[in-house]
Structure 1
């Protein structure tokens, strides 16, 4: 039996399969690919973020299978939506988890407040150290501490974070006409505001426990799996 492809696109933190621990089992029913975005590598030095490069990675992965579902977290949702705009024929569905699609809601209050908070840090990111940037980023964005063990991977992670472009600069202004789920953790007005916007444009909106990673909760994982399965059944019914 042919397995539909599901492409997973990570956010700012863990990447590849490590970013989706609860979804590994989906490989039993689907052709699951856990992508690494541009500049995310366990050995090579991090690179400046490249949203168009991320789109190309996804389009290539979907094209190889003739299409598939896309599940994306945080900033990975930006390139996922752009891929759906560029190649809607390849994207069966979009599952957007805590999507950082701030350019869609730039004029709304929570997004505007977030940009006011974060813009000064982005403005000086090329003039401070990776560690200082990471520390201040976590303090501003999550009211959390970013200090941890001083390992080569931790240093690469801090540099990678500093090299990410502001999400509100993404060239995202069109919502693709594909079945879309938006899943949030119900903890942060910014992501709820984005989810509300996407709901108004036709997305199915769901909330699950888990803070910024609701995909790691039982309900969040079940929601993603159920949505993809429902879309897959609908496609099969139309094809028969």
Structure 2
């Protein structure tokens, strides 16, 4: 099966998957401001026609899940790394807290107060408060996060991936991603924790062995 690697909202292409052999598959590089429907369209246009294993990180899990569900792609296996599939876990306290903070922060940005936006977003995303003397250095990051597509409201549903062998890999550090993983397990997926890199378990050497074990199981099931 051909491998396709779908990045999140940060690094793109092969840079988003530093422990993966660059010759092992195709590394997607979306335009940084592309909306989710545009990302789905890119996946379908560029990768239809052959059996795929799709790897997707964070926000990349949203277009990957939607494309897999639509059936245009022949997805034989999914590896979702800290997938930001917030829609599947609505109602969970950690999920609702995150959405509420981002919604309030986006309202500040829309009103023209980028610093107030960052004062809310920085501790949520990076674990530390806004420091006035660092604001000029972090303004570009604030501008980036103020325009990044939010990963909810895209119609992803818990049962969409039933029938597609799915491995969810999380870092074991954040209640939001663990809640999402739990819902996906309840709907037929499997879950492995690769701790030590927080939101980027694909950066760790242990990621490869976890994925290899999953893909061996998928291959055995396909032969049955």
What's the TM-score once normalised by structure 2's chain length? 0.85
Mapped contact 1:186–1:211 kept (Cα < 8 A): yes
Q: Which residue pairs with 2:88 in the alignment?
A: 104
Q: For 1:171, what is the secondary structure of its paired residue?
A: coil
Task: Describe the SS at the equivalent of 1:7.
Answer: strand
**Unpaired runs of at least 5, structure 1:** 41-46
Change (3 A) 1:135 1:21: farther
**C-alpha contact (below 8 Å) 1:5/1:62 kept by paired residues:** no
Q: Show the 5 A alignment for 1:31-42.
A: 32-37=25-30, 39-40=31-32
Q: Is the 8 A contact 1:10 1:72 kept in 2?
A: yes
Q: Relative to 1, partners in 2 of residues 1:13 and 1:148: Cα closer, same or farther, differing over 3 Å? A: farther
1:51 aligns with 2:36: yes
User: Which 5+ residue runs of structure 2 have no aligned equivalent?
Assistant: none
Kept in 1: contact 2:8–2:58 (CA 8 A)? yes
CA RMSD of aligned residues (A): 2.6
Q: SS state of the match for residue 167, structure 1? A: coil
Which residue is 1:75 aligned to?
59
Scaled by the length of structure 1, the TM-score of the pair is: 0.80
Per-residue CA distance 1:167-205 (angstroms, 9 max, x = gap): 222221242220000000000111101100101101011
1:117-152: per-residue Cα shift (whole Å, max 9, x none)? 22201223333476774564232223147869969x
Q: Secondary structure at the match of 2:181?
A: helix
4+ runs of 1 displaced by more than 6 Å? 129-132
2:17 maps to what in 1? 20
Aligned to 2:190: 204
Partner of 2:177: 191
Q: Which residue of 2 aligns with 1:44?
A: none
Q: State the 1:165 CA deviation.
A: 2.7
The 3 A distance-change label for structure 1 pair 184 and 220 is same
- Secondary structure of the 1:166 match is coil
